[in-house]
Amino acid sequence: MRQSKRMRSPGLWLNEFSWEERVDGRKRRRRDSHSSERENKSRRQQSHYRAYDGHYLETRSLNQRIGSRERPSHRDPNGAMAYEDSRGPTCRDNRDRDRDWHHYSNAYSRRSHRRRRRSRSVEDDGEGHLIYHIGDMLRARYEIMSTLGEGAFGKVVECIDHGNAGARLALKIIKNIDRYREAAMSEVEVLEQMNSLDYDRRYPCVRMLDWFDYHGHVCIAFELLGLSTYDFLKENNFQPFPIQNIKHMAYHIIRAVKFLHKNKLTHTDLKPENILFIDSQYDIEYSPILRRDQRTLKNPEVKVVDFGNATYDHEHHTSVVSTRHYRAPEVILDLGWDNSCDVWSIGCILVEYYLGTTLFQTHDSKEHLAMMERILGPIPTNLLQKTRKRRYVHRYKLDWDSNGSSGRFVKKSCRPLKEYMMCQSEDHQKLFDLVEKMMEYDPAKRLSLEQALRHPFLACFQKGGNNKNINNNNDRSSRSSRSGRSSRSRSSRNKKS
């Protein structure tokens, strides 16, 4: 993961409601038949979850977890947290009073604060990240080997799972801050539901193996994958992917997101950073045209990750979703959105794979709409009539000065979609036809992912034999990626970290 300069949606993490109101609101929501197995009960009573290695983990409700910070604590020799009775000073003997660095006073612990209080031996930095070192053990099981990436939510580390024959996995360590912790618990619920629905691992979505709370940091264990598609582009000097790679990547992305839509979920944050290769090993070939070495993927299969912002159809829909460059026009115009906003994002991603660069390179909403008009044609009048963003519209047209400095920039940096084609071969034409239908302005007319799988660009995957081979390759690649990485891909990942 990278520390991106791309602006994240303010509606994803920042919520005007208090934490208590959000928890109460989540308790009041009723899940439909597709989400009835999500762990709402775990927020109201104690239950046990089966861990990946067959052991059971005791979990507590959110209120119990937050309430636990009112109690003093110490660590046992294995690094686990032991909670003492906080009913009064009679529960402590004189020796415990002398070792006051283990505890916080009752008056101090009652004060409201952003982070949970715990032993001094477990520390956070100023941003809420857990301070760790290579070789540290979490829960006497997960040994930290390296840092894979960092984001607004926290960090991802590569670990050895000593509870599962030394298998390698990726551990996502969430910041010890309430809003990130709450979002992480939402992601855990979604991932558990996905695991139960895709028990035979047919769909290319990342697999959660375990989760636990480590001194206020929610930690989620995932299967270990390769580089993100963005990081691969970056390390390959933003050279475009070959058309055949794009075809395979598109097929797996569409299948994964279609699985979400079928179960009434919208991802809402699809982008190249959230699409990871199963195995990012590559060959190096010299390009006489570019006069430099170029990386060629050995296996273009990918999986979709990061479900922290995934939203069920019946849940509250925040007004702003998606990272700027992949945001659908109905979101910008505040017309409301549904799962078709994911389809728009996939269209933007496929163009980025084809060009090597982002299609909409802007951080301003009105300029973004102007770029859309330059590339895709005028925005339909009926959409502009219904928008709540009246400052973007004048006389039912986009209020945009094409002769100003911003207008000249848009005219210079953007051109009609078909003019981006590098070749007029059949595959290139089919790709751009698919993208054009996925980036239809009107969500009601936009291509569904079911229709996208039947598009001529993906015709080679429509035969049963090819699909069977692809699934078999996917299983083999998953096993090989879990067993380890080549020294070349590992060194590139460590370099990134």
291-347: per-residue pLDDT in tens?
778 888 999 999 999 999 999 999 999 999 999 999 999 999 999 999 999 999 999
In tens, the pLDDT along 427-459 reads 999 999 999 999 999 999 999 999 999 999 999
Query: What is the per-residue pLDDT across 249-296, written as a single tens digit (0 to 9) for each?
Result: 999 999 999 999 999 999 999 999 999 999 999 998 887 877 778 888
- Residue 401 clears pLDDT 60, i.e. is over it: yes
Amino acid at 100: D
Greatest mean pLDDT among 2-6, 242-246, 460-464, 485-489: 242-246
Give the span between the Cα atoms of 467 and 260, in whole angstroms. Answer: 19
The pLDDT of residue 285: 85
Written as six digits, the tokens of 106 are 């009752």
Evaluate whether 49 touches 37 at the Cβ level (below 8 Å): no
Point out the catalytic residue in the list 178, 213, 231, 269: 269
Q: Is the pTM of this model over 0.75?
A: no
Res 348 pLDDT > 50: yes
- The band of 472, judged by pLDDT with boundaries at 50, 70 and 90, is very low
pLDDT for residue 319: 94
The predicted structure's pLDDT at residue 418: 95
The domain locations on the chain are: 40-223, 229-483
Residue 50 has pLDDT above 70, yes or no: no
If you average pLDDT over residues 94-100, what whole number do you get? Answer: 45
Token readout for 355 is 């060009």
State how far the Cα of 380 lies from the Cα of 37, in Å rounded to an integer: 41
> What is the percent of the chain with per-residue pLDDT over 70, rounded to a whole number?
69
**CATH fold for the domain made of 40-223:** Phosphorylase Kinase; domain 1 (3.30.200)
Rg of the chain over all Cα atoms, to the nearest angstrom: 25
Q: Give the pLDDT score at 129.
A: 95
Distance CA(210)–CA(192), nearest Å, equals 9
Flag whether pLDDT at 45 surpasses 60. Answer: no
Instruction: Report pLDDT for 151.
Output: 86
- 41 in a known ligand binding site: no
100 a catalytic residue: no
Q: How confident is the model at residue 122 (pLDDT cuts 50, 70, 90)?
A: confident
User: What is the C-alpha to C-alpha distance for residues 151 and 2, in angstroms, rounded to an integer?
Assistant: 7
Q: What is the 3-state secondary structure (H, E, C) of the chain?
A: CCCCCCCCCHHHHCCCCCHHHHHHHHHHCCCCCCCCCCCCHHHCCCEEEECCCCCEEEECCHHHHHHHHHCCEEECCCCCEEECCCCCHHHCCHHHHHCHHHCCCHHHHHCCCCCCCCCCCCCECCCCCECCCCCCEECCCEEEEEEEEECCCEEEEEEEECCCCCEEEEEEEECCCHHHHHHHHHHHHHHHHHHHHCCCCCCCECCEEEEEEECCEEEEEEECCCCEHHHHHHHCCCCCCCHHHHHHHHHHHHHHHHHHHHCCEECCCCCHHHEEECCCCEEEEEECCCCEEEEEECCCCEEECCCCCCEECCCCCCCCCCCHHHCCHHHHCCCCCCCHHHHHHHHHHHHHHHHCCCCCCCCCHHHHHHHHHHHHCCCCHHHHHHCCCHHHEECCEECCCCCCHHHHHHHHHCCCHHHHCCCCCHHHHHHHHHHHHHCCCCCCCCCCHHHHHCCHHHHHHCCHHHHHHHHHHHHHHHHHHHHCCCHHHHHHHHHHC
Tell me: pLDDT of 181 over 80.
yes
Residues 479-491: tens digit of each pLDDT: 444 444 433 343 3
**In this predicted structure, what is the pLDDT of residue 146?**
96
Q: Is the pLDDT of residue 229 over 90?
A: yes
Give burial (CB, 10 Å; 0-12/13-18/19+) of 341.
buried
Choice between 36 and 270, residue whose per-residue pLDDT is larger = 270
Provide the pLDDT for residue 62: 39
- pLDDT at 164 > cutoff 70: yes
What's 380-437 look like in SS3?
A: CHHHHHHCCCHHHEECCEECCCCCCHHHHHHHHHCCCHHHHCCCCCHHHHHHHHHHHH
Q: Are 200 and 474 in contact (CB under 8 A)?
A: no
State the first-to-last Cα distance of the chain, in angstroms, to the nearest integer.
8
pLDDT, mean over the chain: 78
| Confidence band for 9, pLDDT divided at 50, 70 and 90 | very low
CATH number of 229-483: 1.10.510.10
pLDDT at 155 over 90: yes
Whole-number pLDDT of residue 464: 55
Which residues fall within 8 angstroms of residue 95, CB to CB, at 6 or more apart? none
- Predicted confidence band at 69 (pLDDT cuts at 50, 70, 90)? very low
